[in-house]
């Protein structure tokens, strides 16, 4: 049951962050996902990223749809408001929430069924709308709660647990996000915390739409021989051309970057994503270059991970709409209601 | 031959081809009559099409202020569309007037000798007067308005004044429009005996009333009600609600210092996303709304269920059109009552309001935000195409500057800090016994008050549960909240002409337009009724008492299945036999004769004694 609270007892010497909080302060309730579920590792990475960034948890809004992935926000950031909406429709709820209050941090947590199957439309549109949010898909290619049916990200030719081969083309969410105009696009693996945590920190610091496709194996329904979303398959086929380090804006940048191999990209808040590429021909600030590299790896049966594309300084929905800087939810009646005198003028315009 | 005669009491219909610029000319006619102080009700009858199909504009002019559809034929027809000529000439009442473009003479087969045919070669006249093809097409419309000014004795000055206001600063447009008006005016004066039997005379019957469409008033109501977020998807006939909200926000909600907007409007990819935006924004403390019509309601139903169960305020304006499915997208009906009252799966019940005129569109829209936040649930405003897309004569809009927005029960950081030791914030804890609990906005407090909003069952502290007792506890509370709603939503308007009268009529929404005239006609036949105009659902005790105190209640509605009657029977458990259906649902607004005829038929010729007071 998700209502089981975790024990808050912790070692008195646990490290604290700038807010004086420990890692434990960022946890949620006890997980009810299967033991070994990749989603719990994603949640743990979110906790670590928020702890290390010293984010005030109550200023984060967690939004999700329906499915195992969408239950996961209950298990992290217990002091944040959460919204478990309807299947595949989290992006529109996030759009409304963000419109109402541009000052909070929006963290969307979704799954492959939620975002690539039932919610493909809303996913595509929230990307092209440039909503300022971080959107994580815990991607395991299968429906968990309904017991193992393939989702739209299941690769063609892979075999589901019952032995049935997937005959439909799989949707690559990273390629889709790129083509829809996402300005921060990453892929990672729930089993690789070292890679995932900096990617989440970068996403949370990014202004604009940040997307992370996290391969997050389903231990119960999609972790067998023949699956392309199993722990073993992913470990064997993952390729990282670019490693990304997140350097918070407070730290002094001391290490000189080596030209051509490593480059620093300044984020909106002054923090830095330090990218180290092993393939010099791949430019992660160039959309075409990223798209080519992703496609090449798909063709080779490999899963390209890392920060695949980053465009800093891009605009987002509020800027495009030219809304006021203060949250719309906090405007007073005086700011909103034109009053009776104006109405009299309007009445005259109807005569 | 008979010549129909009347002063300030007639129905005129314009038959045009859509996309030819007739709308603004026709509007000019209605506005002129209105400016002469004569009550007028214009009605667009248009196809779901951009260009080329028949379209009509029907105007009822009535000194007594009867604005509903009279029904039957028309007194004056302006026939400018060869496609519909046969139907249009057939619609003229004997003795009526048929004005048409005689550039192509009327075929003998269509001629009627019981009506007055007025031939004016508008196309030829405009061809001679104007050189440009587009002008020739557009000014044909203005020319027939000029002819009507002569034929119906409408003060020409009124038109020039209207043109001067409309095209202020564009002198060439004033000149060319005036030329076109004069073209028709002079031709009519010289060729026919003017005026004909039907005339428009200056009056003071309009008083200080305004002429505005319901959708404009609804959009304006959302501005006054403090809506800052709007997610929407285009659909006829609701689109102009959003256009109105946008227009007035652009005018009145710009931060003077920065030029930035105090509102956010996003056209979404579909209706599901539109209402998703509203839910997300309302959850996060903004006032948010959307507007749609039937097909949009179907798509929004899942989200409406979420908002009901998770208790999120939202305002939804449903401008109803003809259903089911795509139905008649440009025709009117009141056929979404059941779909809205019980929208979504499981046990759901929503709050509906039924505006009957633009003033109520404005008030109900503005007040809906208070109701939604007070009740923490969707408020669905049930307008319709008839009200939304036509201009209506109504009392001026009013706003009380002393009125403060009711933001409902929202716990602040301070209130959370003041919780006593051991006391825990419970999102779904009913502290006041009215079924309404306290909510918190995201981002309020670092330690307290956060909760998980969900569509799954949960306990009083918003924690997931499948415990039957806790589920039932929550559902019972929602029922209690629904009863609370009945006490604060717009009350019915009840008119008792005699307490002993056992006969009554019940109606709602745009049916109001025909009721004064309908009741008068029935009274002339010795039939008197008490009446109740329903303005909201769930029904208050007053509604139940009214129905209980009458033996025969005619429920008048504009749908096939008598949906309001169904709601009354279902919710109040009144005896179905006493609720008599009076229905009209052909897509045109209900006419007076449908109700008068329906009631008389039901009573039966020899049964009228029953109607008296006993």
| One domain for residues B177 and B288 | no
Residue A306 is inside which H or E element, if any?
A: strand A303-310
Q: Which residues of A touch B451 (CB under 8 A)?
A: 81-82
**A73, B446: Cβ pair inside 8 Å?**
no
Token pair for B292: 């749609």
B438: DSSP letter? -
The answer to whether residues B287 and B356 belong to one domain is yes
Q: Are A47 and A14 in contact (CB under 8 A)?
A: no
Q: Quick one: closest CA in B to A61, which residue?
A: B442
pLDDT of residue A249: 80
**What DSSP designation does B397 have?**
P
Instruction: Give B495→chain A minimum CA distance, Å.
Output: 29
Question: Do residue B238 and residue B174 come from a single domain?
Answer: no
Helices first, then strands: H and E counts in chain A: 12, 11
Closest residue on chain A to B359 (Cα): A347
Mark whether B116 and B258 lie in a shared domain: no
Range of the domain at B434: 409-490
Q: Are B408 and B228 in contact (CB under 8 A)?
A: no
CB contact B441 to A (< 8 Å): yes
* Chain A hits for B280, Cβ within 8 Å: 63, 83, 85, 92-100
In a domain, A342, yes or no: no
Residues of chain A contacting residue B404, judged by C-beta atoms under 8 Å apart: 333
**Domain-located, residue B399:** no
CB contacts of B399 in chain A (<8 Å) are 337, 339-340, 343
Residue B312 to residue A85: CA distance in whole angstroms:
11
* Boundary residue ending a domain (B490, B506, B533): B490
Between chain A and chain B, the number of residue pairs with CB atoms below 8 A apart is 238
For residues A108 and B552, give the distance between their C-alpha atoms in angstroms, rounded to a whole number: 57
Residues of chain A with confidence (pLDDT) below 50: 1-3, 255, 257
**In a 3-state reduction of DSSP, which class is residue B142?**
helix
Using a CB–CB cutoff of 8 Å, tell me whether B223 touches chain A: yes
The pLDDT tens digits for B576-608 are 999 999 999 999 999 999 999 999 999 984 454
Which of B226, B270, B284, B401 has the highest number of chain A CBs within 10 A, making it the mutation to test binding with A?
B284
Contact B154, B148 (CB under 8 A): yes
**Cα nearest neighbour of B440 on chain A:** A81
Question: Could you say which DSSP state residue B195 is in?
Answer: S
Tally of domains within chain B = 4
Quick one: which of B334, B385, B388, B379 has its CA closest to B361?
A: B388
Answer yes or no: do B503 and B530 share one domain.
Answer: yes
Distance CA(B283)–CA(A93), nearest Å, equals 9
Q: What is the dihedral of CA B581, B586, B589, B594, to 10 degrees?
A: -50
Share of chain B above pLDDT 90, in %: 95
Does B403 fall in a domain?
no
Closest by CA to B535, choosing from B324, B371, B304, B321, is B371
Which two three-digit tokens encode residue A47? 């906790």
C-beta atoms of A100 and B223 within 8 A: no
Contact assignment for B211 to A338 by CB distance below 8 Å = no
**Cα B386–chain centre separation:** 5
Reported as a pLDDT band with limits 50, 70 and 90, residue B380 is: very high
Whether B262 is in a domain gets the answer yes
Are residues B76 and B217 both part of a single domain?
Answer: no
Would an 8 Å CB–CB cutoff place B446 in contact with chain A? yes
Interface contact B404, partner A, CB < 8 A: yes
B284 and B417 share one domain: no
Distance from CA of B519 to the nearest CA of A (A): 29
Q: For residue A54, count CB atoms less than 10 angstroms from its CB and return exposed for 0-12, middle for 13-18, buried for 19 or more.
A: middle
Contact between B279 and A91 using a beta-carbon 8 Å cutoff? no
CA distances from B499 to B528, B607, B609 (A): 12, 21, 17
- Give the burial class of B82: count Cβ atoms within 10 A of its Cβ; 0-12 exposed, 13-18 middle, 19 or more buried: middle
List, as ranges, residues 462-521 from B with C-beta within 8 Å of A.
463-465
B260 domain residue, yes or no:
yes
What does A194-261 look like in DSSP terms, one character per residue? HHHHHHHHHHHH-SSEEEEEEE---TTTS-STT-SSSHHHHHHHEEESEEEEEE-TTS---SPPPTTT
Those residues whose C-beta lies under 8 Å from the C-beta of residue B83, and which sit 6 or more positions away, are B17, B54
A347 with B210: Cβ contact below 8 A: yes
Assigned domain for B207 exists: no
In a domain, B483, yes or no: yes
Place of tokens 């469409």: B213
Give chain A's radius of gyration (CA, Å).
21
Q: Is residue A123 part of a domain?
A: yes
Q: Residue B283 and residue A97: Cβ atoms within 8 Å?
A: yes
Residue A183 lies in a domain: yes
CB B81 within 8 A of CB B122: no
Last residue within a domain, chosen from B490, B525, B552 = B490
Among B30, B32, B264, B457, pick the best mutation site for testing chain A contact (most A Cβ within 10 A): B264
Mention every residue, 6+ apart, whose C-beta is less than 8 A from residue B386: B43, B332, B510, B513, B589
Shortest distance between the Cα of B384 and any Cα of chain A, in A, equals: 20
Q: Which residues of B touch A317 (CB under 8 A)?
A: 264, 266
The answer to whether B244 contacts chain A (CB < 8 Å) is: no
Say if the Cβ atoms of A104 and B442 lie within 8 Å: yes
Listed in sequence order, the residues at least 6 apart from B186 whose beta carbon sits closer than 8 Å to its beta carbon are B146, B150
Write A160-165 long-range contacts (CB < 8 A, 24+): A160/A221, A160/A222, A160/A227, A161/A221, A161/A222, A161/A224, A161/A227
The strand pair at B378-384 and A133-139 is best described as unpaired
- In terms of domains, do B277 and B371 share one? yes
B231 CB within 8 Å of a chain A CB: yes
Q: CB distance B302–A86 less than 8 Å?
A: yes
End-to-end CA, chain B? 48
User: Is the peptide bond preceding residue A96 cis, with omega within 30 degrees of 0?
Assistant: no
Using the beta-carbon criterion (under 8 Å), do A333 and B226 form an inter-chain contact? yes
Nearest CA distance, B399 vs chain A (angstrom): 5
Please give the pLDDT value at position A209: 98
* pLDDT band at residue B569 under the 50/70/90 scheme: very high
- CATH number (domain holding residue B563): 3.40.50.920
Q: Do B452 and A82 lie within an 8 Å CB cutoff?
A: yes
Beta-strand pair B391-394/B314-320? unpaired
Taking an 8 Å cut-off on Cβ atoms, the answer to whether B280 and A84 are in contact is no
Q: Structural domain of residue A62, as residue ranges?
A: 23-322
Distance CA A170, CA A155 (A): 5
Chain B hits for A27, CB-CB cut-off 8 Å, are none
Q: What CATH code is carried by the domain that includes residue B254?
A: 3.40.50.970
Interchain CB contact of B37 with A (< 8 Å): no
Q: Would the CB atoms of A3 and B464 count as touching at under 8 Å?
A: yes
**Distance spanning both ends of chain A, measured CA to CA:** 63
CA distance B474 to B453: 14
Residue B387 to residue B334: CA distance in whole angstroms: 11
Which residue of A31, A67, A100, A316 is the best one to mutate when testing the B interface, meaning the one whose CB has the most B CBs within 10 A? A100
Beta-ladder partners of B19: none
Contact B280 A83 (CB under 8 A): yes
Tokens standing for residue B194: 């003017």
State whether B243 and B385 are in the same domain: yes
Q: Helices B122-129 and B133-151 meet at what angle, rounded to 10?
A: 120
> Are A95 and B231 an interchain contact pair (Cβ–Cβ within 8 Å)?
yes
* Domain-embedded: residue A221: yes
Average pLDDT, chain B: 96
Distance from CA of A344 to the nearest CA of B (A): 8
Q: Which of B232, B248, B442, B461 would best serve as a mutation to test chain A binding (most A beta carbons within 10 A)?
A: B442
- Give the integer Cα–Cα distance in Å for B33 and A327: 47
Query: Is the pLDDT confidence value at B610 over 60?
Result: no
Per CB-CB distance under 8 Å, the chain A contacts of B223 are: 336-338
The shortest CB-CB distance from A80 to any of B272, B278, B450 is to: B450
For an interface test with A, give the residue of B274, B426, B450, B456 to mutate (most A CBs within 10 A). B450
3-class DSSP assignment, residue A129: coil
DSSP symbol at B610: G
Quick check: B457 contacting A, CB < 8 Å?
Answer: no
Angle at A18 between CA A12 and CA A20, to 5 degrees: 35
Task: State how many domains chain A has.
Answer: 1
Asked if residue B502 and residue B480 are part of one domain, the reply reads no
- Whether residue A41 lies inside any domain: the answer is yes
Q: How far is CA B538 from CA B432, B570, B584, in A?
A: 21, 11, 24
d(CA B34, CA A140): 67
pTM of the predicted model, to two decimals?
Answer: 0.96
Domain containing A285 — which CATH number? 3.40.50.970
Spatial neighbors of B227 by CB under 8 A, at least 6 apart, are B245, B263, B287, B288, B289, B315, B369
Does residue B265 fall inside a structural domain?
Answer: yes
**Which helix or strand (DSSP H or E) is residue A81 part of?**
strand A81-84
- Same domain, yes or no: B507 and B484: no
Q: Which residue has the tokens 């003028």?
A: A345
Output the six-digit token pair for B316.
Answer: 């939804």
Question: Which residues of chain A make contact with B406, given a CB cutoff of 8 A?
Answer: none
Measured between beta carbons, which residues in chain B are less than 8 angstroms from residue A98? 280
> Is-contact B219 A346, C-beta < 8 A?
no
Mean pLDDT confidence for B102-131: 96
Is B379:B351 a contact under the CB 8 Å cutoff?
yes
CA neighbor of A274 nearest in space, from A336, A201, A217: A201
Quick one: which H or E segment has residue B516? helix B515-524
Distances (CA, A) of B443 to A131, B377, B450: 19, 21, 8
Confirm whether B26 is domain-assigned.
Answer: yes
Cβ–Cβ below 8 Å for B456 and A84 = yes
Is B563 found in the same domain as B480?
Answer: no
* Cβ contacts of B281 on chain A, cutoff 8 Å: 96-97, 99-100, 328-329
pLDDT digit string, tens, across residues B319-335: 999 999 999 999 999 99
Distance from the A107 Cα atom to the nearest Cα atom in chain B, whole angstroms: 13
pLDDT, residue A260, reads 52
Q: State the smallest CA–CA distance between residue A48 and chain B in angstroms.
A: 18
Q: What are the φ/ψ torsions at residue B40 (nearest 5 degrees)? A: -145, 145
């Amino acid at each position: 049951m998700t209502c089981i609270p975790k024990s808050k007892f912790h070692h008195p010497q646990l490290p604290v962050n700038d807010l004086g909080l420990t890692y434990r302060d960022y946890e949620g309730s006890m997980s009810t996902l299967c033991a070994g579920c990749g989603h719990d590792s994603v949640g743990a990475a979110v906790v670590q990223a928020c702890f290390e960034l010293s984010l005030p948890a109550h200023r984060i809004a967690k939004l999700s749809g329906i499915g195992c992935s969408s239950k996961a926000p209950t298990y992290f950031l217990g002091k944040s408001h959460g919204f478990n909406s309807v299947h595949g429709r989290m992006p529109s709820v996030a759009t409304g929430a963000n419109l109402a209050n541009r000052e909070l941090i929006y963290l969307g947590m979704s799954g492959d069924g939620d975002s690539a199957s039932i919610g493909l439309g809303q996913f595509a549109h929230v990307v092209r709308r440039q909503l300022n949010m971080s959107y994580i898909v815990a991607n395991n290619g299968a429906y968990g709660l309904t017991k193992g049916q393939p989702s739209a990200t299941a690769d063609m030719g892979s075999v589901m647990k019952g032995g049935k081969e997937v005959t439909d083309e799989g949707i690559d969410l990273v390629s889709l996000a790129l083509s829809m105009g996402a300005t921060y696009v990453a892929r990672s693996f729930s089993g690789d915390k070292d890679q995932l945590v900096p990617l989440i920190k970068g996403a949370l610091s990014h202004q604009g739409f940040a997307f992370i496709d996290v391969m997050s194996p389903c231990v119960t329904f999609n972790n067998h021989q023949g699956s392309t979303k199993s722990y073993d398959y992913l470990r064997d086929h993952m390729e990282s051309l670019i490693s990304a380090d997140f350097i918070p804006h407070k730290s002094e940048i001391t290490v000189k970057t080596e030209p051509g191999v490593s480059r620093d990209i300044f984020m909106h808040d002054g923090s830095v994503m330090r990218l180290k590429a092993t393939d010099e021909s791949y430019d992660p600030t160039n959309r075409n270059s990223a798209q080519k590299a992703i496609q090449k790896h798909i063709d080779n049966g490999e899963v390209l991970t890392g920060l695949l594309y980053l465009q800093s300084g891009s605009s987002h929905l509020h800027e495009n709409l030219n809304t006021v800087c203060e949250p719309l939810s906090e405007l007073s009646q005086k700011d909103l209601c034109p009053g009776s005198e104006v109405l009299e003028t309007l009445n005259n315009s109807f005569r | 031959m008979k010549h129909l005669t009347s002063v300030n009491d007639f129905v005129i219909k314009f038959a045009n081809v859509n996309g030819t610029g007739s709308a603004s000319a026709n509007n000019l006619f209605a506005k002129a009559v209105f400016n002469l102080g004569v009550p007028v009700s214009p009605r667009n009858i248009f196809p779901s099409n951009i260009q080329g199909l028949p379209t009509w504009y029907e105007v009822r002019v009535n000194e007594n202020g009867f604005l509903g559809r009279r029904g039957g034929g028309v007194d004056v027809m302006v026939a400018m569309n060869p496609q519909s000529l046969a139907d249009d000439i057939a619609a003229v009442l004997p003795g009526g007037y048929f004005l048409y473009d005689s550039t192509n003479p009327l075929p003998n087969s269509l001629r009627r000798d019981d009506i007055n045919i007025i031939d004016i070669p508008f196309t030829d006249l405009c061809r001679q007067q104007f050189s440009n093809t587009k002008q020739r097409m557009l000014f044909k419309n203005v020319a027939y308005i000029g002819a009507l000014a002569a034929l119906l004795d409408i003060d020409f000055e009124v038109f020039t004044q209207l043109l001067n206001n409309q095209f202020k600063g564009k002198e060439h447009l004033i000149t060319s429009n005036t030329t076109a008006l004069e073209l028709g005016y002079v031709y009519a004066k010289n060729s026919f005996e003017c005026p004909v039997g039907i005339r428009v005379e200056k009056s003071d019957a309009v008083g200080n009333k305004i002429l505005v469409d319901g959708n404009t008033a609804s959009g304006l109501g959302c501005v006054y009600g403090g809506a800052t977020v709007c997610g929407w998807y285009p659909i006829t006939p609701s689109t102009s609600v959003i256009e109105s909200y946008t227009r007035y926000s652009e005018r009145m909600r710009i931060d003077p210092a920065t030029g930035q907007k105090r509102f956010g409007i996003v056209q979404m990819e579909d209706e599901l996303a539109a209402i998703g935006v509203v839910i997300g924004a309302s959850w996060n403390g903004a006032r948010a709304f959307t507007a749609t019509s039937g097909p949009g309601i179907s798509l929004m139903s899942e989200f409406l269920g979420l908002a009901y169960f998770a208790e999120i305020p939202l305002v939804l304006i449903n401008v109803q059109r003809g259903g089911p499915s795509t139905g008649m997208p440009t025709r009117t009906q009141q056929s979404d009552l059941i779909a809205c009252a019980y929208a979504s799966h499981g046990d759901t019940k929503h709050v509906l309001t039924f505006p009957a005129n633009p003033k109520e569109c404005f008030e109900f829209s503005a007040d809906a935000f208070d109701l939604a936040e007070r009740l923490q649930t969707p408020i669905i405003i049930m307008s319709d195409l008839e009200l939304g897309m036509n201009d209506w004569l109504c009392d001026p809009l009013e706003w009380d500057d002393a009125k403060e927005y009711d933001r409902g029960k929202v716990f602040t950081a301070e209130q959370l800090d003041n919780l006593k030791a051991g006391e825990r914030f419970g999102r779904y804890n009913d502290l006041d016994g009215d079924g309404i609990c306290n909510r918190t906005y995201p981002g309020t407090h670092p330690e307290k008050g956060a909760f998980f909003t969900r569509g799954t069952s949960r306990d009083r502290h918003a924690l997931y549960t499948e415990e039957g007792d806790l589920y039932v506890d929550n559902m019972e509370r929602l029922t209690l909240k629904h009863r609370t709603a009945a006490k604060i939503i717009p009350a019915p308007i009840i008119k008792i002409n005699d307490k002993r009268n056992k006969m009554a009529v019940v109606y709602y929404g745009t049916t109001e337009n025909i009721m004064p005239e309908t009741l008068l006609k029935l009274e002339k036949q010795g039939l008197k009724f008490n009446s109740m105009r329903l303005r909201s659902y769930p029904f208050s005790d007053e509604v139940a008492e009214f129905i209980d105190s009458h033996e025969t209640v005619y429920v008048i509605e504009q749908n096939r299945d008598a949906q309001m009657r169904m709601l009354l029977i279902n919710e109040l458990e009144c005896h179905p036999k006493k609720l008599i259906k009076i229905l009209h649902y052909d897509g045109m607004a209900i006419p007076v004769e449908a109700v008068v005829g329906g009631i008389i038929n039901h009573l039966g010729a020899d049964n009228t004694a029953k109607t008296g007071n006993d």
